[in-house]
């Protein structure tokens, strides 16, 4: 694993966005706003429980490798022995939110790079027997930066983002809040 001489603490302080916030940004900005304002309704929601169960029962041998670094929680990591980098893995229950999953793991790769650690990402969809590999490049960094900036703007705003009905709203933990 390549490491450079970086002031970890300084870099960590600059990286304030959580992986789940990147994911929610692409799913629904109202959900992101509510989550960032500690509504926390999804804690015991059925879909979250399903996700946890999937995580716990898939890839059992790697379960102990869950890595939490400040704001990010990576499902598991593997060392690529042939090449000098680590693989970071996320486990998702379906590819319906592929764009959100893609940016979440892209952010993890970016986050680690900021700490001087080179990595590649893999999104695992065990229910569909599918994997997607992700690497960081100039182009996707250029797309990621405005997302991070926009999330910070939403964090610093007091104005709730009005909900707009989407096909997956009924499965969202905030449904009652938005539409009752």
Q: Which stretch binds ligand SF4 (CB under 6 A): 11-19, 51-59, 148-156, 162-170?
A: 162-170
For residues 29 to 58, the per-residue mask of contacts with ligand SF4, x marking binding by CB under 6 A and - elsewhere, is -xx---------------------------
Checking phi first, is residue 161 left (phi over 0); if not, alpha (psi -120 to 50) or beta? beta
**Nearer to ligand SF4 by C-beta: 131 or 166?**
166
Sorted by sequence, the CB contacts under 8 Å of residue 22 that are 6+ apart come out as 100, 103, 104, 107, 147, 148, 151
Total Cβ atoms within 10 A of residue 17: 20
Total Cβ atoms within 10 A of residue 119: 24
CB of 120 to ligand SF4, least distance (A): 30
Sorted by sequence, the CB contacts under 8 Å of residue 61 that are 6+ apart come out as none
CB of 153 to ligand SF4, least distance (A): 18
CB of 143 to ligand SF4, least distance (A): 22
Pairing of strands 130-134, 85-91: unpaired
Strand partners, 73: 68
Look at residues 144, 158, 97, 157 and name the one whose alpha carbon lies nearest to residue 123. Answer: 97
Q: Which stretch binds ligand SF4 (CB under 6 A): 51-59, 71-79, 126-134, 167-175?
A: 167-175
CB of 178 to ligand SF4, least distance (A): 3
Q: Which stretch binds ligand SF4 (CB under 6 A): 54-62, 69-77, 100-108, 163-171?
A: 163-171
The footprint of ligand SF4 on residues 15-34 (CB under 6 A) is 28, 30-31
Phi, psi angle pair for 86, to nearest 5°: -105, 150
175 binds ligand SF4 (CB under 6 A): yes
**Which residues would be at the binding site for ligand SF4 (CB under 6 A)?**
28, 30-31, 163-164, 166, 169, 172, 174-175, 178
């Amino acid at each position: 694993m390549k490491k450079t001489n970086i002031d970890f603490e300084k870099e960590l302080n600059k990286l304030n966005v959580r992986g789940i916030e990147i994911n929610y940004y692409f799913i629904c900005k109202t959900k992101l706003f509510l989550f960032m304002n500690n509504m926390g309704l999804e804690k015991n929601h059925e879909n979250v429980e399903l996700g946890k169960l999937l995580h716990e029962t898939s890839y059992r041998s790697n379960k102990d490798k869950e890595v939490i670094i400040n704001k990010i929680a990576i499902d598991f990591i593997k060392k690529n022995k042939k090449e000098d980098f680590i693989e970071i893995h996320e486990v998702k229950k379906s590819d319906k939110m592929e764009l959100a999953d893609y940016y979440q793991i892209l952010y993890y790769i970016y986050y680690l790079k900021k700490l001087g650690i080179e990595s590649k990402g893999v999104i695992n969809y065990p229910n569909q027997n599918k994997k997607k590999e992700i690497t960081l490049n100039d182009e996707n960094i250029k797309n990621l930066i405005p997302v991070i900036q926009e999330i910070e703007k939403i964090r610093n705003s007091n104005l709730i983002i009005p909900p707009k009905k989407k096909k997956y709203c009924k499965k969202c933990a905030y449904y009652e809040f938005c539409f009752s």
